[in-house]
Structure 1
Amino acid sequence: MYEPIRTKSVHSTMASAGAGVPSRSREEELDIQLAGHLSALLAVTDELGLTEAGDAIAAQVARLRGMPPVRHAGLSRAGSVALHARAHALAGRALVVAASRADTSAAILAASRMDAHSAATAAS
């Protein structure tokens, strides 16, 4: 009635091929995500001209990536209020990832940057 399957299953082939695919742990993925958020925050911080804060952020990025970040402030020509708002949002994202990663130093840095940018926005 039915003809038997003569070829190998695609699903079993893919499952056995999965051993050669590189994978990352959850911690490694969170490290990459946190370094990305902090790098974006560093770019905005450098555009604002906040070198001391930028140096602190760059140190965290270097710790996470194992090498210092490339610092290049591509000027967006946005106003300072918009830049502070963007930096506040980026610091918030970094804080969430740092908290889920249980990275105290990055979380403290992100929270302090959030406070600084919200104060700068309120003062403007």
Structure 2
Amino acid sequence: MPAEGEMYEQTRTTVSAQRRPAARAHNSSTPGAPGTTARTALPHGAPLSGHLAALVTATEAIRDATPDPARRAELDAAAHELADRLTQLAPTGAPLPHTAGAHGGRSLAAAHEHAHALAGRLLVVAAAQQDTVTAMLACRRMDAHAAARSAR
């Protein structure tokens, strides 16, 4: 026991952390010996670009199938906003699929459901990449498609 006024240091025990091997990316299309992997660097905006392109396509398909001129104008503005953001993330241009009949014969409610799901995926990827501008855009599109779904 220490004397009055004297302090003692408590011994500390540390547990060494088990070292794990670094995770390796898998690319099955990479030529090489079986069991080897290669890392493929993608531009930062690549995943966002794909999700944005899909949402632009879905939005344009809904716009084309919407009979109300006011709703068409809102959807047209939304498609332009999404396409502008896509251009900012992929300035070399990301090819967009042809949109004629892209809603695949779905009802408008089902097309809004699909666009809502696409916007949700975009939100997840944007949040993971800490892209606030795209995340806010995705949230607005989710709200608009949810409102359109419930209005039907």
TM range (shorter): 0.7 to 0.9
CA distance in 2, matches of 1:109, 1:120: 17
Which residue of the other structure, out of 18, 24, 46, is the alignment partner of 1:32? Answer: 46
Per-residue deviation at 1:32?
1.1
- Does the Cα contact within 8 Å between 2:49 and 2:94 map onto a contact in 1? no
* Root-mean-square deviation (Å): 2.3
**2:51 alignment partner, SS class:** helix
Per-residue deviation at 1:69?
4.5
- Does the Cα contact within 8 Å between 1:85 and 1:117 map onto a contact in 2? yes
- Between 1 and 2, higher relative CO (CA 8 Å, sep ≥ 6) is seen in 1
Residue 144 of structure 2 is matched in structure 1 by 116
Is 2:124 aligned against 1:96?
yes
Aligned pairs for 1:80-91 (under 5 A) are 80-91=108-119
Is 2:103 aligned against 1:78?
no
**1:120 alignment partner, SS class:** helix
CA distance in 2, matches of 1:70, 1:35: 10
* Aligned residue pairs, count: 105
**TM-score, with normalisation over the residues of structure 2?**
0.62
Amino acid at match of 1:58: A
Residue 58 of structure 1 is matched in structure 2 by 83
- Does the Cα contact within 8 Å between 2:51 and 2:121 map onto a contact in 1? yes
Per-residue deviation at 1:100?
0.6
Residue 40 of structure 2 is matched in structure 1 by 23
Residue 45 of structure 1 is matched in structure 2 by 59
C-alpha distance after superposition, 1:66-97 (max 9, x if no partner): 13445531312211001100000000000000
Unaligned ranges ≥5, structure 2: 1-31, 64-74
**TM-score, with normalisation over the residues of structure 1?**
0.75
Residue 70 of structure 2 is matched in structure 1 by none
Indicate the percent of aligned positions where both proteins have the same amino acid.
Answer: 38
Which portions of structure 1, spanning 4 or more consecutive aligned residues, are displaced by more than 2 angstroms? Answer: 67-72
User: Considering only CA atoms, is the larger Rg found in Structure 1 or Structure 2?
Assistant: 2
